Amino acid sequence: MSRLREDSGFTLVELLISMTIMSIILGATLTVIEMMQRQTADATIRVDSRDRIRTTLDRLVKPLRNAVETSTGTIEFNGPNDLVYEAVGTTAPASATAGNNAGLQRVRICLDTTTGRIYRQTKAYTTATPPALASPPCGNTVTGDYSTADVIGTNITNDATKPMFTYDFASGSTALKDLDGIKVGLYLDANGTKPPDEVRLTTAISLRNVNQAPTASFTDAEVNGHVLVNASPSTDPEGGTLTYAWSLDGGSTVVGTDVRYDQGGVAKGVSHDFTLTVTDPSGLTNSMTRSITMP
């Protein structure tokens, strides 16, 4: 006779323990799945943010590299989140009698820190000189200072502590005519206050159209009561034709405009300060002063 198998089943305690273990395993599995989904979503947002910030940088930087020289330098205004320059526009050049034969337009790049939008604004003109420089609210076209306002970037989180633009000047100067480089740093947060954190990309721009100031230099010779000065050693980095202005002893009156100047009637042992100011075709100047004593 075969032995009967016991069919009493699981006890309630065993069932509860099994359910508890299954709940823990299921919860852990769901947590891992949720974490993987969150990481995937964060990675997607980061990739999207980097793509968007690269696109914004391209829209900002490429036109800026075509900025042209003005009387103040390549850049007309430089702020931490706002800069103004001039470039060749789409408007046909004016007639020779009106000026602006190159068809220049004013261009402004600015950030509205309230909305996180970067605008590229333009103002075309046909006069010989551009209109007066103004700083209306970023994106504003109502006042007529700028006629267009195109959004070239969104979700930008730059502010006063994280400026879009920092500037490099030649020889420690702060004059716009000596500005020869711009660093652009953009912060972008595509997901607001939620993770992931904002992304940042930077690039540098060399202002290749910058006109450098000339260098004044002259030689001198003292002969028979005459001081002969010669400005031919003066140079212009772009090879432009220089104009010359000589003055004596700090006076504002120009006593000569040739490359050479002859000052006669200088007594033995008497000193005079000779100042040479050279000017390049764009109006940039440089001066040199030398005290010369008749031997």
Average pLDDT over residues 200-217: 82
Round to whole Å and give the CA distance between 255 and 243. 14
Contact predicate 107/85, CB 8 Å: yes
Torsion of CA 189, 193, 196, 199, to 10 degrees: 20
State the average pLDDT over residues 226-235.
Answer: 95
* CATH of segment(s) 219-293: 2.60.40.10
Sheet strand arrangement including 226-230: 219-223, 226-230, 260-263
Cα–Cα nearest to 287, from 275, 274, 295:
275
Which tokens belong to 272?
Answer: 């005079």
Given pLDDT bands bounded at 50, 70 and 90, which one contains residue 156? Answer: very high
For the segment 102-119, the average pLDDT, to the nearest whole number, is 93
2-21 pLDDT, tens per residue? 555 555 666 777 778 888 88
Residues 6+ apart with CB under 8 A from 226: 262, 263, 264, 266
**Residue 168 confidence (pLDDT) above 50:** yes
Distances (CA, A) of 93 to 98, 129, 178: 9, 13, 28
Domain range list for the chain:
48-129+139-206, 219-293
Its pTM stands at 0.64
